[in-house]
């Protein structure tokens, strides 16, 4: 055994990887298979799982209902399909907004004198070190009707003698969007910075010397060269937004239900793990499809590791 | 042309984004000193030091003065318990996942073996699927497994297998390993193999070479992997939420519970302390890393 360990390179590799495989198989592969198996089952009256093979949970998720009014046996119930499309569009909007906000900042840092770059990056990370849940709470304080933003606006209005009715900002779609962008913005900034920082500064000079306008330089040189960062950032933002449920729970109230909320609700409140599992599988498939096509189109770079 | 020159538009948007990032943090910390118990409006600082005196929800006087809510926080047994749990989980999972992840990085970077492709794919999965999918999966696994075991072994009451600290710790180890492995692997990627060869030529065996040459030079990578694992564990809400049980709540879980009920400035005090501790931790890790490189 010891001798084999000393001489057989392949055996050495297997030995080194085996603890990782133990964890990955035990706590990732097997759980995913179990989730899939359960999603084909149905729920017993006491909330336990009856194993079986039926697609009824998936059918229900995409809007085909068997509990209809008016004597019909089958009808369209858009409740869950709406949740799926709302999650997708929110993840999309968050990602676009994050790119628009992160790009100038990452560009600014990448072209700052190299000594100052670390300080600027450090300043991005500090808000991230408060806890995820606490950051949502901060936005609750800012957005609520008698909160900080309305307070400041009211005070400003008072200065100019204008009548002010506080805005209803909390428990809206916009609140969830802002919260999501705030939570995941650094995941966009860092990979963007990594790829922008790789661009040799002399390229900008060359482009200017050759008479390209700043806009042309950006479109023809900077943007294409920073695509790996955009791709990694998009994956790092899109994927977690799709699955997060506390932001919508706390900033969206009951109105804005995302697929994450649906899954959590099915497991902990509605006690239908089979339907929750089906939603979880669909969530995974949706993110994998998006990631797959996105990386196939643009290629997956090492920026994703750079975090 | 000065390559460091940036257009005013870039500078303005940069300032705005920094503003966006910091306003919530400043508000959080400021409200930790709020005299208002309901914490909706900022009613001013607590200026008087003396026995606690509260009039219509406003703290006028406290033995800790302006730091009233920090003292209340320190007295809060639930917070102490949650802090202990959070740190226990983070320390054990960081230690374990750093070792396992480093070994994995070495295996993937240096060796060829049968399950290599499978390993690489499985290591990327936690990064490209939403956390809730993994959390739900682990919840399903443990609940089915525990029902089976409790039934088969005829366990009841306290001796039953239940969700708790143990299940949270193993789950944290599982989701941290990939991140450690990726960070260490990136470091190994730029590693000059000739110094290892030199060490072997000078008569050191593989183990001595690893211990005296390879490990010290990948140490900065290992340390940043460990720091990443530690912060991921401290920050984790989703996986903990689905794998924790009674009495094993962590700070994020505790805060989430509070947010659905009544919030006093204690939560803000907690955030302020949290930021301070992490800043100190990062400061020391940075210094340690700078010394290493």
B286 found inside a domain: no
User: Can you read off the two tokens belonging to residue B159?
Assistant: 């001796």
B277 found inside a domain: no
B222, B85: one domain = yes
B24, B140: one domain = no
**Residue B105 reports pLDDT greater than 90:** yes
> CA of A97: which chain B residue's CA is closest?
B17
B44 contacts in chain A (CB < 8 Å): none
pLDDT at A306: 44
B80, B16: one domain = no
Mutate one of A5, A36, A121, A131 to test the B interface: name it (highest B CB count within 10 A): A131
Provide the CB-side half-sphere exposure for A143 (13 A, CA): 22
**Residue A172 reports pLDDT greater than 80:** yes
Give the range among A80-89, A298-307, B261-270 with minimum mean pLDDT. A298-307
Confidence label for B2 from pLDDT (cuts 50, 70 and 90): low
pLDDT at A262: 94
B30, B89: one domain = no
B82, B64: one domain = no
B248, B106: one domain = yes
Q: CA torsion A174→A180→A185→A187, rounded to 10°?
A: -160
Distance in angstroms (rounded) separating the CA atoms of residues B173 and B165: 12
B56, B86: one domain = no
- Topology, domain A81-305: MetI-like fold (1.10.3720)
**Any chain A CB within 8 A of the CB of B132?**
yes
Q: Which domain holds residue B29?
A: 8-70
Average of per-residue pLDDT across A205-232 = 85
Percent of chain A whose predicted confidence (pLDDT) is above 90: 40
- Say which of A21, A112, A306 has its CB closest to residue B119: A21
**Residue B276 reports pLDDT greater than 50:** yes
Distance from CA of A42 to the nearest CA of B (A): 14
Distance in angstroms (rounded) separating the CA atoms of residues B277 and B280: 5
**Residue B201 reports pLDDT greater than 70:** yes
B281 found inside a domain: no
CB pair distance less than 8 Å for B133 and A35:
yes
B138 found inside a domain: yes
Q: What is the ipTM of this complex?
A: 0.87
Q: Which CATH number fits the domain that encloses residue B193?
A: 1.10.3720.10
Provide the CB-side half-sphere exposure for B261 (13 A, CA): 7
Mean model confidence pLDDT for chain B:
86
Contacts of residue B269, Cβ cutoff 8 Å, sequence gap at least 6: B32, B69, B70, B72, B73
- Say which of B128, B237, B251 has its CB closest to residue A291: B128
B241 contacts in chain A (CB < 8 Å): 264
- Say which of A27, A35, A291 has its CB closest to residue B171: A27
B80, B145: one domain = yes
**Residue B153 reports pLDDT greater than 90:** no
**Residue A305 reports pLDDT greater than 60:** no
Q: What is the DSSP string of A199-221?
A: S-HHHHHHHHHTT--HHHHIIII
pLDDT at B199: 85
pLDDT digits (tens, 9 = 90+) for B180-193: 998 898 888 877 77
Query: Domain segments of chain A: what residues?
Result: 81-305
Backbone angles phi, psi at B48, to 5 degrees: -90, 140
Which among A87, A21, A71 has a CA at the least distance from the CA of A264?
A: A87
Contacts of residue B185, Cβ cutoff 8 Å, sequence gap at least 6: A305, B105, B108, B109
pLDDT at B289: 67
pLDDT at B280: 85
Structurally, chain B folds into a number of domains equal to 2
> CA of A186: which chain B residue's CA is closest?
B21
pLDDT at A98: 96
B107, B46: one domain = no
pLDDT at A307: 41
Greater pLDDT, B201 or B281: B201
Domain boundary among B70, B90, B119: B70
> CA of B258: which chain A residue's CA is closest?
A137
Chains A, B: CB pairs < 8 Å: 272
pLDDT at B51: 77
B275 found inside a domain: no
pLDDT at A277: 95
Domain boundary among B70, B91, B120: B70
Distance in angstroms (rounded) separating the CA atoms of residues B146 and A201: 59
B60, B169: one domain = no
B266 found inside a domain: no
B235, B257: one domain = yes
> CA of A29: which chain B residue's CA is closest?
B122
B46, B174: one domain = no
Greater pLDDT, B43 or B96: B96
Domain boundary among B16, B49, B70: B70
CB pair distance less than 8 Å for A148 and B278:
no
B190 contacts in chain A (CB < 8 Å): none
- Say which of B103, B122, B278 has its CB closest to residue A28: B122
- Say which of B18, B115, B139 has its CB closest to residue A14: B115
Which among B90, B95, B92, B98 has a CA at the least distance from the CA of B225?
A: B98
B1 found inside a domain: no
């Amino acid at each position: 055994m010891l001798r084999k360990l000393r001489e057989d390179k392949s055996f050495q590799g297997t030995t080194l990887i085996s603890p990782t495989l133990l964890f990955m198989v035990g706590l990732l592969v097997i759980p995913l298979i179990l989730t899939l198996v359960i999603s084909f089952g149905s729920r017993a009256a006491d909330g336990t799982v009856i194993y079986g093979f039926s697609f009824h949970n998936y059918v229900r998720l995409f809007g085909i209902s068997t509990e209809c009014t008016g004597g019909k046996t089958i009808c369209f119930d858009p409740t869950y399909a709406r949740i799926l499309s709302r999650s997708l569009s929110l993840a999309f909007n968050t990602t676009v907004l994050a790119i628009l906000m992160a790009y100038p900042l990452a560009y600014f840092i990448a072209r700052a004198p190299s000594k100052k770059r670390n300080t600027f990056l450090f300043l991005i990370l500090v808000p991230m070190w408060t806890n995820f849940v606490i950051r949502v709470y901060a936005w609750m304080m800012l957005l609520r009707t008698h909160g900080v933003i309305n307070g400041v606006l009211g005070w400003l209005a008072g200065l100019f003698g204008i009548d002010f009715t506080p805005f209803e900002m909390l428990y809206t779609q916009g609140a969830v969007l802002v919260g999501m962008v705030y939570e995941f913005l650094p995941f966009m900034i860092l990979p963007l910075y990594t790829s922008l920082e790789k661009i040799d500064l002399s390229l900008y000079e060359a482009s200017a010397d050759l008479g390209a306008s700043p806009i042309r330089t950006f479109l023809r040189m900077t943007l294409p060269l920073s695509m790996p960062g955009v791709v990694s950032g998009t994956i790092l933002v899109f994927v977690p937004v799709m699955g997060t449920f506390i932001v919508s729970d706390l900033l969206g109230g009951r109105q804005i239900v995302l697929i994450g909320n649906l899954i959590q609700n099915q497991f902990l409140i509605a006690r239908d793990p089979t339907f929750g599992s089906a939603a979880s599988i669909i969530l995974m498939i949706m993110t994998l499809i998006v990631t797959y096509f996105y990386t196939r189109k643009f290629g997956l770079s090492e920026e994703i590791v750079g975090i | 042309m000065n390559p460091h020159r940036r257009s005013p538009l870039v500078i303005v948007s940069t300032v705005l984004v920094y503003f966006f990032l910091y306003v919530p943090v400043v508000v959080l910390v400021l409200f930790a000193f709020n005299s208002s118990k309901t914490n909706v409006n900022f009613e001013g600082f607590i200026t008087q030091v003396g026995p606690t005196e509260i009039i219509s929800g406003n703290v006028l006087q406290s033995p800790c003065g302006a730091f009233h809510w920090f003292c209340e926080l320190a007295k809060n047994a639930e917070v102490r318990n949650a802090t202990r749990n959070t740190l226990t989980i983070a320390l054990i999972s960081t230690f374990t996942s750093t070792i396992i992840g480093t070994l994995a990085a070495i295996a993937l970077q240096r060796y060829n073996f049968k399950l290599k492709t499978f390993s690489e794919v499985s290591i990327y999965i936690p990064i490209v699927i939403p956390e809730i999918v993994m959390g739900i999966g682990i919840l399903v696994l443990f609940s089915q497994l525990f029902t089976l075991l409790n039934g088969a072994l005829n366990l009841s009451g306290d001796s039953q297998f239940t969700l708790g600290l143990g299940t949270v710790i193993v789950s944290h180890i599982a989701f941290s390993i990939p991140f450690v492995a990726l960070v260490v692997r990136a470091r190994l990627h730029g590693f000059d193999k000739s110094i290892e060869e030199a060490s072997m030529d000078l008569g050191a065996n593989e183990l001595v070479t690893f211990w005296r040459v390879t490990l010290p030079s990948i140490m900065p990578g290992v340390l940043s992997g460990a720091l990443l694992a530690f912060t991921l564990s401290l920050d984790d809400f989703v996986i903990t939420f689905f794998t924790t049980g009674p009495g094993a709540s962590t700070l994020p879980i505790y805060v989430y519970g509070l947010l659905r009920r009544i919030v006093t400035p204690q939560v803000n005090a907690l955030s302020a302390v949290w930021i301070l501790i992490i800043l100190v931790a990062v400061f020391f890790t940075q210094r340690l890393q700078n010394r290493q490189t």
